[in-house]
Chains A and B, each alone.
Chain A
């Protein structure tokens, strides 16, 4: 019975997401990519809706959440049906199946068998991540005292911003506990093991989006290999099975950045708006969502200025979408934006000492900032000699040097700039004495780097596959469809 309830509980945000993507994405895309997006967007919309209801003083319970959710889903479906954009991506299933059946009767090369092995390995990792999340209760430190506790408070009291929840949450937004609380409401009991189902679903969605965005420019085998390499990061796998917010932040930021890069490559507006939507939800996951979005806005601005000035209207629309989606948190006095403005005012008016730190745990009033060389040394150790990122950062350097010609002639340079801005932000975040310790002891730095790791791999995979296939992409960087070689 509890399994049926769990499936129903998961289906609600998934359907909401499907209906939202039907309105947003009017082109035919694979049902798996649409499903992955539907989960991410649906979960985000549901969380934001619950948060809005709680701000309006409505008690959160299954009935109260279900009524507006079903209504919104129905409205979106009617809208999509009326404008003939309703799509669950199901029309791609026959093609997918016929392709699969067609392959069975063929004589196969080694690539065919290699692909199957890779698919099995990816599948086993997905099974493992689901097992890891669902088999054990919440046992990790932060997940117990912060996200898990808030989720149970929401489930038990029907309120989000209780005095205890606000203390425990600190400067962090609420999507993670709201998502877990929704599962408890759906299954009708506090079951912290089952509540974690949201994380492996985010991980699986990340894999699908990664694969389907990479696939158009390379063979299936290469796209599968790089998707498999995405499963090789132990920190991402570990966080897919626990209730920290870092995996969610990784999912929303990395997929947002991947869609943004897709828009740089091909001028399809839905890529840009999907990216904006994902960044907006990402702002509601962790306080780092806002600076990550800020970096993307800088890169988008540069791209619009130098490559597609005529698309500035769509750029502004994307900005408004993100701001609107995350407005409930973005403009609240607890958001990173507020803290950042506070720290700026402290620098401009030194008398104002009581400012929020940019990274929780530190303060901006500590003396003696570490030297840049020390920061780079410790960051370098974390990047290159631990297993968390395997050989990702070394490969990023190699790819950026050996593929420099291709990168600087194409849209890929904007991906490179985005990665560099993020690394610079990490160095900046640890550049005061209060936060420096979290770099040295490794408690926070790896989790901050995790947010962009899938995107860095996507960028490396794009360059590697393009160079290995010996043909550069027909890169459309101007509105006049100028081909950049």
Chain B
């Protein structure tokens, strides 16, 4: 009997579905860093699990996107974010449990590495999956980047680690509720209260059980948070530790931009002036405003700029600068012009 039970358990755990898995030949797109599948028509309901064997040059992050016959845009809402490890490894995604937009007919998949490094797809199949792939998918999802890797938005919101698309908190709420209910039932059976007042003792016991479950569950979440802090510590250690404040600024602002800001700080007159920054880079004012104090970003005081700092300008900005004299030049893409715009 035991042998049969064990056999059935192993069978359920490992048995691939009876439906046939579909091979997906991912290919590199020339000139791009992502891999894409051919155009397909895959029923998302019948094929919930993607099994990948990847060969990665280094550990990092990647995102799997898809489009459906109804919605043909690759976008973050239709994606799964995951960690990659260097070397050859298998990855399982029970996508339908992780993302509600795995619906309808799936037309194409792409895998986009985030950061440096190369990814090669050694094999890719899609099918119904097994209990093993389901558990593996949930496990990887929990330890995945959502809620662990900081984004530009982390200053406002930190996601909790998900399991099968739901916050881990939800499972803990159920656990606490279940602990309370079971304890209450057991204590009522044990004490057999005859009056309404007599139910107080089992209720107090159940309350204590709920509180102890809360403490235990929260301690686990706290340890999980500590693990995340440790990962962030490692990142910042590699990025900033042991560097001078100048090197740290260069790391934070970008070395090229930092050199230009230093050049501007040295070149601009000693007396505070109003300045503007023309650049194609993202949010150049942020570091510029801070670094160049006591000089004043003209927009802050609603005045015209005495100087315009130009750092890799856009074609439009170059047109606007025509006719203004160059005050100082670091190179052809980095210079300061004089003038009131």
Chain A residues with CB under 8 Å of chain B are: 121, 124-125, 128, 131-132, 135-142, 144-145, 148-149, 152-153, 156-157, 163-164, 167-168, 191-193, 225, 228-229, 231-235, 237-239, 242, 244, 382, 384-388, 390-391, 394-395, 398-399, 402-403, 442-444, 446-447, 464, 467-468, 470
A402 touches B232 (CB 8 A): no
Interface residues of B in 156-171 (CB under 8 A from A): 156-161, 167, 169-170
Say yes or no for B103: interface residue by CB 8 A criterion: no
Name the B residues within 8 Å of A442 (CB-CB). 153, 156-157
- Given the complex of chains A and B, what is the CA–CA distance between A237 and B215 in angstroms? 20
**With known contacts A193-B248, A386-B160, A387-B147, A167–B301 Cβ distance under 8 A:** yes
Q: Closest residue to B200 on the A side, CB-wise?
A: A405
**Which of A137, A156, A167, A390 makes the CB contact (< 8 A) with B252?**
A137
B222 touches A398 (CB 8 A): no
Interchain Cβ contacts under 8 Å between A and B, 23 examples: A128-B233, A135-B240, A136-B240, A139-B252, A141-B286, A142-B155, A144-B286, A192-B245, A228-B219, A232-B221, A232-B226, A238-B150, A242-B155, A385-B160, A387-B167, A388-B158, A391-B176, A399-B211, A402-B211, A443-B156, A446-B156, A464-B214, A467-B204
Name the A residues within 8 Å of B302 (CB-CB). 167
Say yes or no for B208: interface residue by CB 8 A criterion: yes
**Which of A135, A141, A398 makes the CB contact (< 8 A) with B214?**
A398
Q: Closest residue to A168 on the B side, CB-wise?
A: B300
- Given the complex of chains A and B, what is the CA–CA distance between A244 and B154 in angstroms? 13
Say yes or no for B241: interface residue by CB 8 A criterion: yes
- Given the complex of chains A and B, what is the CA–CA distance between A443 and B289 in angstroms? 23
**Which of A384, A385, A468 makes the CB contact (< 8 A) with B211?**
A468
Q: Number of contacting residues on B, CB 8 A?
A: 60
**With known contacts A144-B286, A391-B217, A128–B167 Cβ distance under 8 A:** no
**Which of A124, A137, A244, A447 makes the CB contact (< 8 A) with B245?**
A137
Q: Closest residue to B232 on the A side, CB-wise?
A: A132
**With known contacts A137-B248, A384-B169, A464–B215 Cβ distance under 8 A:** yes
Say yes or no for B210: interface residue by CB 8 A criterion: yes
Q: Closest residue to A153 on the B side, CB-wise?
A: B293
Q: 19 more A-B contacts (CB under 8 A) besides A232-B225, A464-B214?
A: A128-B233, A132-B232, A135-B237, A136-B236, A137-B249, A149-B289, A152-B293, A167-B300, A228-B222, A232-B218, A233-B225, A234-B225, A385-B170, A386-B158, A387-B169, A390-B221, A402-B180, A467-B208, A468-B212
- Given the complex of chains A and B, what is the CA–CA distance between A399 and B180 in angstroms? 12
Name the A residues within 8 Å of B248 (CB-CB). 135-137, 193
Say yes or no for B294: interface residue by CB 8 A criterion: yes
A148 touches B290 (CB 8 A): yes
Q: Closest residue to B239 on the A side, CB-wise?
A: A136
Name the A residues within 8 Å of B285 (CB-CB). 145
**Which of A149, A191, A225, A384 makes the CB contact (< 8 A) with B293?**
A149
- Given the complex of chains A and B, what is the CA–CA distance between A131 and B223 in angstroms? 19
| Minimal beta-carbon separation of A33 from chain B (angstroms) | 23
- Given the complex of chains A and B, what is the CA–CA distance between A21 and B237 in angstroms? 38
B167 touches A385 (CB 8 A): yes
**Which of A135, A229, A387, A444 makes the CB contact (< 8 A) with B158?**
A387
- Given the complex of chains A and B, what is the CA–CA distance between A136 and B156 in angstroms? 19
Interface residues of B in 274-316 (CB under 8 A from A): 285-287, 289-290, 293-294, 296-297, 300-302
| Minimal beta-carbon separation of B185 from chain A (angstroms) | 16
Name the A residues within 8 Å of B136 (CB-CB). none
- Given the complex of chains A and B, what is the CA–CA distance between A211 and B228 in angstroms? 24
A164 touches B232 (CB 8 A): no
**With known contacts A135-B237, A193-B245, A391–B221 Cβ distance under 8 A:** yes
Q: Closest residue to A231 on the B side, CB-wise?
A: B222
Chain B residues with CB under 8 Å of chain A are: 147, 150, 153-161, 167, 169-170, 172-173, 176, 180, 204, 207-208, 210-212, 214-215, 217-219, 221-223, 225-226, 228-230, 232-233, 236-237, 239-241, 245, 248-249, 252, 285-287, 289-290, 293-294, 296-297, 300-302
A467 touches B207 (CB 8 A): yes
B155 touches A390 (CB 8 A): no
Name the B residues within 8 Å of A132 (CB-CB). 232-233, 236
Name the B residues within 8 Å of A164 (CB-CB). 296-297, 300-301
- Given the complex of chains A and B, what is the CA–CA distance between A163 and B274 in angstroms? 12
B218 touches A390 (CB 8 A): yes
**Which of A142, A148, A167, A391 makes the CB contact (< 8 A) with B173?**
A391
- Given the complex of chains A and B, what is the CA–CA distance between A164 and B215 in angstroms? 49
Name the B residues within 8 Å of A242 (CB-CB). 155
A444 touches B293 (CB 8 A): no
Name the B residues within 8 Å of A464 (CB-CB). 211, 214-215
**Which of A141, A232, A446 makes the CB contact (< 8 A) with B157?**
A446
Name the B residues within 8 Å of A446 (CB-CB). 156-157
- Given the complex of chains A and B, what is the CA–CA distance between A149 and B161 in angstroms? 35
Name the B residues within 8 Å of A402 (CB-CB). 180, 207, 210-211
Name the B residues within 8 Å of A125 (CB-CB). 226, 229
B161 touches A387 (CB 8 A): yes
Q: Closest residue to A465 on the B side, CB-wise?
A: B211
- Given the complex of chains A and B, what is the CA–CA distance between A244 and B207 in angstroms? 39
**Which of B158, B180, B236, B241 makes the CB contact (< 8 A) with A234?**
B158
B157 touches A144 (CB 8 A): no
| Minimal beta-carbon separation of B81 from chain A (angstroms) | 15
Name the A residues within 8 Å of B215 (CB-CB). 225, 464
**With known contacts A128-B233, A145-B285, A232-B222, A388–B290 Cβ distance under 8 A:** no
**Which of A124, A157, A382, A398 makes the CB contact (< 8 A) with B294?**
A157
B156 touches A394 (CB 8 A): no
Name the A residues within 8 Å of B300 (CB-CB). 163-164, 167-168
**Which of B155, B172, B180 makes the CB contact (< 8 A) with A244?**
B155
- Given the complex of chains A and B, what is the CA–CA distance between A470 and B208 in angstroms? 9
| Minimal beta-carbon separation of B213 from chain A (angstroms) | 10
Name the B residues within 8 Å of A237 (CB-CB). 225, 229
| Minimal beta-carbon separation of B28 from chain A (angstroms) | 34
Name the B residues within 8 Å of A149 (CB-CB). 289-290, 293
